[in-house]
Structure 1
Amino acid sequence: MKKIVLIFGLIIGTILSANMLNMVTMIYNGKDFKGNDVVGYVALVVVFSIIFFGIRNYRNKRLEGQITFGRAFKTGALIAFVGSTVYVIIWLFYYYLFVPDFIDAYTACVLKNCTASDLPAKTAQMAEFKEMYKNPAFVVLITYSEVLPVGLAVALVSALILKNKTVNK
């Protein structure tokens, strides 16, 4: 199981990180970037759907076609955790080494896309976020919270679909 978890987790982590670096670069360069949360979460679900294939691979090649819900979910959750950990590590290196002023660029992008009535509240919210982002533990937690819940949801659905206690002959 370890090999499958690492392979599929690293694939997911690499794709997530490449996407994140692209988005961060667009925001950082200020090229009229407008984020779309729906598109972002759909992209996460699509990338994390690789978990399904990891669980299926494990079930079919290592467990002779049999897997319980618990084992399937554990495998999927571990794949999601490995992928999310790669994403967090890449973000930490990128943020601290290459774009330490990213929060300022992100704030400018958010405020530029705000309506005039929302501006004071959003300005205060972004100032609070910038203060919290000074704590590396917060950076790790908030970065995990961006992707890991989606990965766990996909692992849950995949485990429900792939569970199979008996071999069909």
Structure 2
Amino acid sequence: MTGNIFKNGILGGLIAATVMSSMVFYMKANPGVQLNAAIGFISMLLAFTFLVFGIKQNRENNNDKISFGKAFLIGLGISFIISTIYVLAWLVIFYNFFPDFIEKYSDMVLKNTNPEDLAAKTTEMNQMKEWYKSPLMVILLTFMEIFPLGILVSLIAGFFLKKK
């Protein structure tokens, strides 16, 4: 079971990290261009398809039986590995290749914000800049980008793939 979790988690993590890396390097090469957030979201969902594969493989290895709880925990384990690889990839990129990311991102967001929302968005971006001064906050913020979606997909997959 753990080999199944690691295998699917690593494969999903590589997909999520590769797409995220591509988007970040595109953003760095084209400052001011706002990428479509849907691309990132879809790539995360694509990565979490390995969560479904992992649950199905475990069910097949267990005489086509799996409880919701076990399916959810397998999904959660795969989600955690995918999210961890995503975070590690971001840390490598941020600290080695794009240390001024938060400033560039903030400038891009503020440039594309409606004038009536500018004050609130400026406050939000200044808070992000403060958070990005701490490596722990960078890790937590990056983890929160992807892991909640993994929890949701784990719940849905566990519900639909359970079989007694």
Shorter-normalised TM range: over 0.9
Distance 1:129 1:30 in 2: 21
Distance 2:56 2:143 in 1: 25
1:45 aligns with 2:45: yes
Structure 2 unaligned spans of 5+: none
How big is the shift at 1:31?
Answer: 4.8
1:19 aligns with 2:19: yes
Q: TM-score, normalised by structure 1?
A: 0.90
Spell out structure 1 runs of 4+ moving beyond 3 A: 35-40
By relative contact order (CA 8 Å, sep 6+), the higher-ranking structure is 1
Distance 1:143 1:15 in 2: 16
What do residues 13-32 of structure 1 show as CA deviations (whole Å, max 9, x unaligned)? 10000111111112222355
How big is the shift at 1:97?
Answer: 1.3
What do residues 68-90 of structure 1 show as CA deviations (whole Å, max 9, x unaligned)? 11111110100000010011111
**Largest Rg, 1 or 2:** 1
Q: What SS is found at the alignment partner of 1:118?
A: helix
2:127 aligns to what?
128
Bigger CA drift: 40-49 or 86-95? 40-49
1:36 aligns to what?
36
Is the Cα contact below 8 Å between 1:8 and 1:79 reproduced in 2? yes
C-alpha RMSD over aligned residues: 1.5
2:77 aligns to what?
78
* Identity across matched positions, percent: 37
How many positions carry a matched residue from both structures? 164
Bigger CA drift: 111-120 or 67-76? 111-120
